[in-house]
């Protein structure tokens, strides 16, 4: 597995643990702002994991596309992805 995928996996596993903690906080009826802050932290972690996956894609799949003359399709995929990320 590529290094960026390992980073993404670690981030997602941490986010999973945080989500479990948030669910426990909700069961315990903890303060809403504390829950919201934890949710924001999980969101940031998931965004970072996605960034790592996209970096790996550009460093491997997009680079390979230059050799296989498939660049236009890869660029189109990235453009669609970036539009989704900016919503």
Written as one string, the DSSP assignment of 30-43 is --HHHHHHHHHHHH
d(CA 9, CA 58): 18
- Kindly report the pTM of this predicted structure: 0.82
54-83 tens-digit pLDDT: 988 888 888 888 888 888 998 999 999 999
Q: How many domains is the chain built from?
A: 1
1-35 tens-digit pLDDT: 577 789 999 999 999 999 999 999 999 999 999 99
Domain containing 19 — which CATH number?
1.20.58.1000
- Total length of the chain: 87
Q: Which domain holds residue 74?
A: 3-85
Contact 35, 25 (CB under 8 A): yes
Contact 6, 54 (CB under 8 A): no
Q: For residue 18, which of 46, 52, 51 has the smallest C-alpha distance?
A: 46
């Amino acid at each position: 597995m590529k290094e960026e995928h390992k980073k993404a996996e670690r981030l997602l596993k941490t986010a999973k643990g945080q989500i479990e903690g948030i669910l426990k906080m909700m069961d315990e009826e903890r303060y809403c702002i504390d829950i919201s802050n934890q949710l924001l932290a999980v969101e940031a972690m998931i965004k970072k994991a996605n960034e790592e996956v996209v970096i790996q894609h550009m460093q491997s799949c997009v680079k390979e596309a230059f050799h296989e003359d498939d660049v236009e399709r890869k660029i189109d995929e990235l453009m669609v992805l970036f539009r989704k990320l900016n919503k």
